[in-house]
Homo-oligomer: A and B are copies of this chain.
Amino acid sequence: MQISSLLESLIEGLRCLPGVGPKSAQRMAYHLLQRDRKGGMNLAELLQNAMINIGHCQDCRTFTEQEKCRICVSSKRQQSTQLCIVETPSDILAIEQTGQYSGRYFVLLGHLSPIDGIGPNEIGLDKLKQRLANETINEVILATNPTIEGEATANIIAQMCAELDIIATRIAHGVPVGGDLETVDGTTLSHSFLGRQKIDLN
């Protein structure tokens, strides 16, 4: 390609973004150079700032540039006795957007995967045990992903909770709302039968 080498490296660099292939990267680079150099400069600064300064919350391990995240320092959240366990910081965002949950969180930053050398300490279970022992927590909601690894991780944490006499619950698996029974896979459908609930008419 007969284009400038700086431009070539920029196009290559943009491909570190998820979902960005060679064509989109090219379009992005030309767009920024042609129409939005200010936005490009701003993005460079924000990226640098975020990559350097964003660390993990001391309590829940989500992303924050402070010692503790906004949820952990909230006094309203501290009154709650529920703790929700998720795999990644973006899971917190998804749960917060439902508006259904007002307790605290703990982020595993992964899931158990002995084959990749990810054991209980790598996903912070030592820290979680400490929190469960020191804080007033009555219910641990296991919101790990519905995958084999996610289930295994949820089981290990449920055992830990049983030892400490804390209730552990698992989020429901079933047919997605607005979905179509016909298109739902068999495993999900059998989960939705196993997890059926009595219709309460009151």
Judge if A138 is at the interface, Cβ distance under 8 Å. Answer: no
Distance in angstroms between the alpha carbons of A18 and B43 in the assembled complex: 13
Distance in angstroms between the alpha carbons of A64 and B2 in the assembled complex: 10
The complex is assembled from copies of this chain, and their number is 2
Residues of B within 8 A of A4 (CB): 54, 63-66, 69-70
Distance in angstroms between the alpha carbons of A145 and B36 in the assembled complex: 21
Provide the A87-119 mask, 1 if CB < 8 A to any CB of B, else 0.
011101100110000000000010000000000
Judge if A9 is at the interface, Cβ distance under 8 Å. Answer: yes
Distance in angstroms between the alpha carbons of A48 and B41 in the assembled complex: 6
Judge if A164 is at the interface, Cβ distance under 8 Å. Answer: no
The reply to whether A46 and B3 form a contact with Cβ atoms under 8 Å apart is no
Residue in B closest to A64 when the chains form the complex, CB atoms: B4
* Chain A stretch 20-55: residues in CB contact (< 8 A) with chain B: 24, 26-34, 36-37, 39-54
Residues of B within 8 A of A52 (CB): 41
* Chain A stretch 65-96: residues in CB contact (< 8 A) with chain B: 65-66, 69-71, 74, 88-90, 92-93, 96
